[in-house]
Structure 1
Amino acid sequence: MDVGIANPRLAGIALMCGTLAFFACLDASAKALALAGVDPLLTTFMRYAVSVVMVTAFINPVTRPGVVRTRRLWLQVVRSLLLFGSTALNFLALRKLQLAETLSIQFAAPLTVALFAGPLLGEWSSPRRLAAIGVGFIGVLVIVRPGIGPVQPAVLLSLGNMLCYAFYIITTRKLAGIDSTATTMFYSGLAGLAVMTPLLPWIWTDPGSPGLWALLVGVGLLGTIGHWLLVMAHARAPANVLAPFLYTQLLWSVLLGYLLFGDVPNRWTLIGASVVVASGLYLLSQERGRRPQL
């Protein structure tokens, strides 16, 4: 094996695994804040306030002339709103659901992307891929189990998070051929901050302890650094090499949920998550078969 090729890929895989550890810690921090009585919308505000400050420090009109110019302002706004919606709904759902439950439902996002990529992006799926998507959604139904007792409102919030995230991915793909990555990064958190800032007087509560303040700031740092590591990972390894490692986040979520909150996923969550992950890996294998290996 050519060491010159292997090392960047291994570095990319390591960075991807680090990314997902950061994202799992982000969700755990948001849940801890919610259980401590901090309004999830305030956590959402801090997530974007810290992110915008950090991103703007490195990507701004001074360091990157022309970064604010976009050929699809409305699409940048929609993408930023979808990211905000995904974050807010996820933080709200985490008040009642386990980390593994919300993440398992969110794993259906790639399936949703594959389903809607045809009409929205012109990337049509084969009958086998459509069958895998259908099986994946059955896995989500196993987790949610509609009709077996009342469906928790938090589950609906988590499903809303999944849909927002799926369409966020689609708009990101759409913008990839229109605006630069720096421009898209610059606009990512602005809509969320713009929506939350006017609401601040109504959602503001003093966390009351340095530890909770540290967690609030940490939510922004974890999200921003996680996305930075994600970009670095994709700069070193192809997406189809990195994609299988997305599912390591489920391991982190189960571990953190047990250690921090005493949560043990029930059998339906584990069965449904296994079905969703298997469907996602099958779609990935089909994608690897279609694309030339680098």
Structure 2
Amino acid sequence: MTAIALMCAAVVCFSLLDTHAKWLGNQGLDPLLVSFARYGVSVVLVSILINPWSHPGVLRARRPGLQVLRSLLLLASTVLNFFALRYLQLAETISIAFATPLIVALVSGPLLGEWPGPRRLAAIAVGFLGVVLVTRPGLGGIHPAAILSVAGCLCYAGYVLTTRVLASADSSETTMVYSGLAGTVALLPALPFVWSAPAAPGVWVALVAIGFFGALGHWLLILAHRLAPATVLAPFIYSQLIWMVLLGWLVFDQLPDRWTFAGGAIVVSSGLYLLYRERVRHVPPGAVSARLD
């Protein structure tokens, strides 16, 4: 129960992160500047807890190239999402983002040798139909910025896959440090071209808050996975849709249309079915009868 509570709290943090990013975009700030704040503030906060003095050797990665690739994929996903949030509703972007587990399940076969069976393939196909329903390409659907959300989803799927590979090579602390550090360094060259001093104190607060919620959310996520397996925690990620709809309504006076609700429900249902099949595949023989006894 503690792990589930931590996971739900992490989801709230990520929802608040996106809400602040969209609000900052509405204030005219460049998404690259907002992304730099998200990573820069996060690096400062993470460094207080995880640094070479408190965790000797934390910067020594066994696969530094893959660490950098993973961090750049996360950065690309973040930047694309922040650009999309300037035009899309919160609920629309998260409904598309929920297709990430479907992409991961589809490409895990050729990349990791984890081939999905026919039932999982059917669930993946249905899930992608849900994404089509949300975006409705060529049918008067949502803003073309949805393409950015789809591209961000692909980048995030690559981030998830590289994270799984690195789990057996480096500690979670090393991976977390690289996540923010590489993104911050990569954005530094663009900073002089997108920098504009915020005029209102509230904008400064939001820039700090976006990094704070990013760092806190990932920290809560790590704590949750130390207490419970991913198959138990993963379904609670989908509660983010509720928070995104609520925050979109309260902060921006936006409610998703029926197509977004329907498509989002299909994507979530497909994701939950994939999780169910994952748990069934890993149940040892006789485990069900043992429970019944």
TM-score by length of 2: 0.94
Deviation at 1:191, TM superposition (A): 2.0
Measure how far apart 1:151 and its partner are.
Answer: 6.7
Per the alignment, residue 133 of structure 2 pairs with 142
Does structure 1 conserve the Cα–Cα contact (< 8 Å) formed by 2:135 and 2:141? no
Name 2:168's counterpart in structure 1. 177
Tell me how far apart the structure 2 counterparts of residues 241 and 93 of structure 1 sit (CA, whole Å).
Answer: 31
- What aligned pairs does 1:1-294 form with structure 2 within 5 A after superposition? 10-149=1-140, 152-292=143-283
Partner Cα distance (1:216, 1:190) in 2: 17
CA–CA distance in structure 1, aligned partners of residues 137 and 175 of structure 2: 38
Q: Deviations over 1:151-193 (max 9, x none)?
A: 7331111111111111100000010111121211121112211
Once the two structures are TM-superposed, the CA of residue 149 in structure 1 deviates from its matched residue by 3.4
Q: CA deviation at 1:150?
A: 7.4
Task: State the alpha-carbon separation in 2 of the partners of residues 39 and 163 from structure 1.
Answer: 22
The letter for the 2-side match of 1:143 is V
User: CA, structure 1 residues 233+150, in 2 after alignment: closer, same or farther (shift >3 Å)?
Assistant: closer
- Local SS of the residue matching 2:38: helix
Aligned length: 285
Where has structure 1 moved over 4 Å in runs of 4 or more?
none
Distance 1:164 1:271 in 2: 25
CA contact (8 A) 2:74 2:155 kept: yes
Q: Distance in 2 between matches of 1:228 and 1:182?
A: 10
Is the 2:6–2:221 Cα contact (8 Å) retained in structure 1?
Answer: yes
Q: Which runs of 5+ in 1 are unaligned?
A: 1-9
Q: Which residue number corresponds to residue 5 of structure 1? A: none
Contact 2:70–2:163 (8 Å) recurs in 1: yes
Q: C-alpha separation between the residues in 2 aligned to 1:47 and 1:182? A: 19
State TM-score, norm by structure 1. 0.94
Local SS of the residue matching 1:189: helix
**Alpha-carbon separation, structure 1, partners of 2:236 and 2:142:** 31
Inter-partner Cα distance in structure 2 for 1:207 and 1:267: 37
The corresponding residue for 1:3 is none
Flag structure 2 segments of 5+ consecutive residues without an equivalent: 288-293
Query: In the aligned structure 2, how far is the partner of 1:292 from the partner of 1:128?
Result: 17
CA RMSD of aligned residues (A): 1.4
Aligned residue number for residue 290 of structure 2:
none
Q: Which amino acid aligns with 1:194?
A: V
Q: C-alpha separation between the residues in 1 aligned to 2:236 and 2:62? A: 34
One-letter identity of the residue aligned with 1:48:
Y
